[in-house]
Amino acid sequence: MFWDKPIDLALNNLKKRVHAPVKLVLWDGREIDLSDETQVTVRLKGARAATAFAHPSLLTLAEAYIEGHADVEGDVNAAIRSAAALSRDGSRPMFDAHGTARHTRRDDREAIHHHYDVSNEFYALWLDPRMVYSCAYFRNEDDTLEQAQLQKLDHICTKLMLKSGEKFLDIGCGWGALVMRAAEKFGVDATGITLSENQFRLATERIRAAGLQDRCRVLLLDYRDTPGEGVYDKIASVGMFEHVGLDNLPVYFGTVRRLLREKGLFLNHGITSSDPDNGAVGLGGGEFIGRYVFPRGELPHLHRAVHDMSTQDLEVHDVECLRPHYAKTLAFWSANFERNLEAAVNASSERTARIWRIYLAGCAYGFEEGWMSIHQVLASKRTRPGRTALPLTREWMYRA
């Protein structure tokens, strides 16, 4: 019973500091209500779980759940909001400094394997039928996820002004949805690259099944090893530069510069830090993501991305913030995951499903709150004087 008094003191202090719709049920049957209303019940299985609440952060609370020391019953969104309230005691900064992570080819391959190679069946449970694992584009509040993802693919292709016969590269192509759409609807010769073996295999199967193999392909390749100079008319990168690392951004954008023809267009679609100093999400959220979901991931602020693009002769023409779109996208993914929770466990493991359950719901909340953002940045390669052949206005981006 050594733990009883410290735990009682910590939990009583917590009740005084925090108002959240949470009922804590201790392993000895005692119950502690953190408000008059209960939307979430947390069942603590022992003293180890209770210590997570002594000085709670998004990391310690997540770990108690992930490791099975606590179970959560009720609405997962209310659980995430409550975890944020528990963690926000005023002593922790909203943003933490990024550590410097190594980004060798081997390190990046291992990080991608950790995140994307859970199983294709796992991702298919909560993504749209095309398995587009990036922020959707909602033209209307009541668009379905499938509609919004197709609109996103077309929005990218339209921004890039893709034309029949052009050579198009998608860096970090996922399961191939963008290269397939670009080849099928816009008539380009499309190449996608990925480090995920699962994505490579399924994308190749889908391309063959659609009969697009003569003008569409996916390669298992590190972006740094993509051969050629001035090979592609247009390049897109969607949800990729989050994996690159802050110190490697010049290498990443320099690779785009090498591969892109003069005056060719490049669209970078990626998550950005809301901190002008490129900090990670605070309250323990960034630590959780780095440890359990995105190893070695680092988010640059928009100004850092634009600066490093500019140093590589990539002239920025347009920037579009999609933060509200990603909050909606993640809400769809999280709801799909909740409906398929048992199947997600079967397609991975209990522990993995717990990680992803709180990751998806947590990110939906984080984007809604503005803890991080996401931007599409359209640029062109300009190493010589002259004007890129773009219209004078941006009307072309929004034509039906």
**Domain locations along the chain:** 4-92, 105-398
Q: Which helix (H) or strand (E) holds 4?
A: helix 4-17
Dmax (CA) for the chain in angstroms is: 77
Tokens of 320: 């579009």
* Residue 52: Cβ within 10 Å count: 22
Catalytic residue among 135, 157, 173, 363: 363
Tens digit of each residue's pLDDT (9 = 90 or more) over 328-340: 999 999 999 999 9
- pTM of the predicted model as reported, rounded to 2 decimal places: 0.92
More confident residue, 380 or 2: 380
Residue with tokens 């917590």: 14
The Cα–Cα gap between 226 and 392 comes to: 33
Residue with tokens 């809604």: 368
Beta bridge mates, 3: none
More confident residue, 101 or 32: 32
Question: Residue 283: what pLDDT?
Answer: 67
Tens digit of each residue's pLDDT (9 = 90 or more) over 87-144: 876 555 556 665 555 556 665 555 555 455 578 999 999 999 999 999 999 999 999 9
* 4-92 placed in CATH 3.30.1050.10: yes
Count of positions (residues) in the chain: 400
Phi, psi of 72, rounded to the nearest 5 degrees: -120, 125
The Cα–Cα gap between 268 and 238 comes to: 6
Tens digit of each residue's pLDDT (9 = 90 or more) over 349-397: 999 999 999 999 999 999 999 999 999 999 999 999 999 989 999 999 9
95-96/40-44 β-pairing: unpaired
More confident residue, 320 or 298: 320
- Contact of 211 with 131, CB cutoff 8 Å: no
- Contact of 84 with 370, CB cutoff 8 Å: no
Question: Residue 47: what pLDDT?
Answer: 82
- CATH fourth-level superfamily of 105-398: Vaccinia Virus protein VP39 (3.40.50.150)
The Cα–Cα gap between 270 and 4 comes to: 47
Reference 377, options 255, 186, 235, 178; nearest CA is 235
For residue 324, count CB atoms less than 10 angstroms from its CB and return exposed for 0-12, middle for 13-18, buried for 19 or more: middle
- Contact of 337 with 150, CB cutoff 8 Å: no
The Cα–Cα gap between 167 and 162 comes to: 9
Q: Outline where 260-388 has alpha helix (H).
A: 285-288, 302-310, 323-339, 341-347, 350-369
Band the pLDDT of 288: cuts 50, 70, 90.
confident
* Residue 392: Cβ within 10 Å count: 5
Of 11-15, 190-194, 314-318, give the lowest mean pLDDT range. Answer: 11-15
Q: Which segments of the chain are extended strands (E)?
A: 22-25, 31-33, 40-44, 70-74, 95-96, 167-171, 189-194, 216-220, 232-238, 260-273, 280-281, 314-321, 372-381
> Is 321 annotated in the active site?
no
